[in-house]
Amino acid sequence: MQSQDHLLEQLKEHRIISILRGIPKDRAQNVADALQRGGIVFAEVTMNTVGALDIISQWRESHGLNMLIGAGTVLDVDMAKEAVAAGAQYLVSPNVDEAVIQYARDRGIGVFPGAMTPTEIVAAWKAGATAVKLFPMASLGIGYLKEIRAPLDQIPLVVTGGVRIDNIQEFLAAGSTGVGLGGSIANGELIREGRYDQIELNAATMVQAVKSYNASRP
């Protein structure tokens, strides 16, 4: 089983979590193939996606050797249990639910609860989060991330919302351990139109930006 410590080390290396929300089940496999070809390691299917559990199970079977498959929008322990049973290797939430965090910890499953304020971030970390998802980043802005990192630099943060190819390195330089990317890689239009080559290209471009940033670090 993927340990939480190893999962965090993988996140520090690869940095990108590709978020799939509302993906049609009949296109999910093609999207996963495109993400893997583009170099994506972390892929998250949100639980409010129709057929999410089946997609998670399918992706674990087909891409489990090369990718880490997670469940997003996990709001309570019941959802966490369903996701883990389907094969999710980490859980992502928009909120801090200590029962979900404890459930994941007890099973060696990674867990990234969503938080906004310093109080929420510290509470999530103390409860045992693998990393804390800073959300909603598109509204908070990179200035907020910089202010938060000053006193909370020991807590790994995954920023979600508002990250694009033109600013991903800026977010990493500001102190984010990882970034959650939705439409910047695979938006609904690309998926509906079956433009999997473009999804692969978007993924590869983001992955290269991360590699260039990591290589520039001392």
Residues 71-99: pLDDT tens digits? 999 999 999 999 999 999 999 999 999 99
Residues 15-33: pLDDT tens digits? 999 999 999 999 999 999 9
Please report the pLDDT score of residue 1 as a whole number: 47
Structural domains present in the chain: 4-211 (3.20.20.70)
Please report the pLDDT score of residue 10 as a whole number: 97
Residues 150-159: pLDDT tens digits? 999 999 999 9
Put simply, whether the predicted model's pTM sits higher than 0.75 gets the answer: yes
Please, what sign has the CA dihedral across residues 21, 202, 137, 121?
Answer: positive
Both tokens of residue 110? 């990674």
Catalytic residues: 44, 133
Give the Å distances, CA to CA, from 44 to 124, 127, 129: 20, 22, 17
Q: How many CA atoms lie within 13 A of 60 on its CB side?
A: 20
Residues 136-146: pLDDT tens digits? 999 999 999 99
Sequence-ordered list of residues with C-beta below 8 angstroms from that of 151, at least 6 positions apart, any chain: 118
